[in-house]
Homo-oligomer: A and B are copies of this chain.
Amino acid sequence: MSLAHGILGFLSYGKMSGYDLAKTFTPTAQFFWSAQNSQIYLELEKLEKKKLVKYRVVEQKGRPDKKMYSITEKGKEEFLRWLSESNSGSDTGFKSSFLMKVFFSVNQSKEETKHMLSAFISDLARYLEEMEPYPAILDQMNPDRKSEASLYWEFTSDFARSYLEMCKQWAERCIATLGA
């Protein structure tokens, strides 16, 4: 249940519509949290019912109306509560069907496993390339607290780069071991 808190986090930077949120989530938070637009709209509804956010309908000419959401005082409190809450141990392991396949690779040939690992390396490279243009987007997002916020953005994107690099080295090690 963290998408809700992600939404609160973005709204703490300023007013946004569900559409804006969907657009923002993907490029900035993609690595550590993916979000479908349908889910965002559902969460916004729930948050509104809990009075953690509120919205005003903004009429536009030549475009559909939009609901501009803003965070309430209660929402800010909840967001800060979540931020300071400890989530002990919940972020050490994760779900990866890829690693599960590696684990069960006795059941396939070494060639097939090597192929699988190579494909994984390609995926990593592609992902890394796609990551490049993100800083610009964050720049647009918060002009005021830009420099401060981008420090933490750097932290998470540093994590992503380190992770991808670690994966690559690991996969290469595996291939080398199999290749003998």
Binding site for B on A (CB under 8 A): 2, 5-6, 9, 12, 28-34, 79-80, 82-84, 86-108, 112-113, 116, 119-120, 123-124, 126-127, 145, 148-149, 151-153, 155-156, 158-159, 162-164, 166, 169-170, 173-174, 177
Contact = CB atoms under 8 A, between A and B. Distances in A.
A5 B97 contact: yes
A96 B170 contact: no
A79 B94 contact: no
Label chain A's interface by main secondary structure.
helix
16 contacts: A5-B100, A12-B107, A31-B93, A32-B93, A80-B107, A86-B119, A91-B98, A92-B123, A92-B124, A92-B164, A94-B95, A99-B156, A155-B174, A159-B170, A162-B169, A166-B166
Contacts of A169: 162
Contacts of A151: 106, 177
A150 to B, nearest CB: 9
A88 to B, nearest CB: 6
Contacts of A145: 106
Contact of A107 (B34, B79, B174, B177): B79
Copies in the complex: 2
A30 B93 contact: yes
B166 A95 contact: no
Given A9-B103, A94-B94, 18 more contacts: A28-B103, A29-B103, A31-B92, A32-B100, A32-B103, A34-B93, A80-B107, A83-B105, A84-B108, A89-B123, A89-B126, A90-B98, A99-B156, A99-B159, A106-B148, A155-B174, A158-B174, A163-B166
